[in-house]
């Protein structure tokens, strides 16, 4: 379900919140990894998911 991730425009953190960042209250948007290989992209998502689980 990696496509549910949003990225904060302000603090650049990933979140599952749809409306705003739970860390700083900034706007979130769907991240658009353009030039990364699929492996890099999923590695990033896995890191983000690990970070969320630690909270
Ligand atoms: Zn934020």
Residues 43, 41: Cα–Cα separation, whole Å: 5
Which residues are placed with Cβ below 5 angstroms of ligand 1, an ion?
A: 8, 10-11, 21, 23-24, 26
* pLDDT given at position 48: 83
Q: Which domains does the chain have, with CATH numbers?
A: 2-54 (2.20.28)
Distance 1 CA to ligand 1 centre (A): 21
Please list, residue by residue across 8-38, b when 16 or more beta carbons sit within 10 angstroms of its beta carbon and e when fewer do. Answer: beeeebbbeeeeebeeeeeebeebeeeeeee
Distance 21 CA to ligand 1 centre (A): 5
pLDDT digits (tens, 9 = 90+) for 1-55: 456 889 999 999 999 999 999 999 999 998 876 565 556 677 777 888 888 776 5
Residues 7, 28: Cα–Cα separation, whole Å: 5
* pLDDT given at position 50: 85
The pTM of the full predicted model, rounded to 2 decimals, is: 0.52
* pLDDT given at position 45: 77
* pLDDT given at position 7: 93
* pLDDT given at position 54: 61
């Amino acid at each position: 379900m990696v496509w549910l991730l949003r990225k904060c425009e302000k603090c650049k953190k990933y979140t599952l919140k749809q409306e705003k960042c739970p860390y700083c209250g900034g706007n979130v948007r769907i991240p658009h990894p353009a030039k990364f290989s699929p492996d890099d992209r999923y590695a990033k998502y896995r890191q983000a998911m690990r970070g969320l689980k630690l909270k």
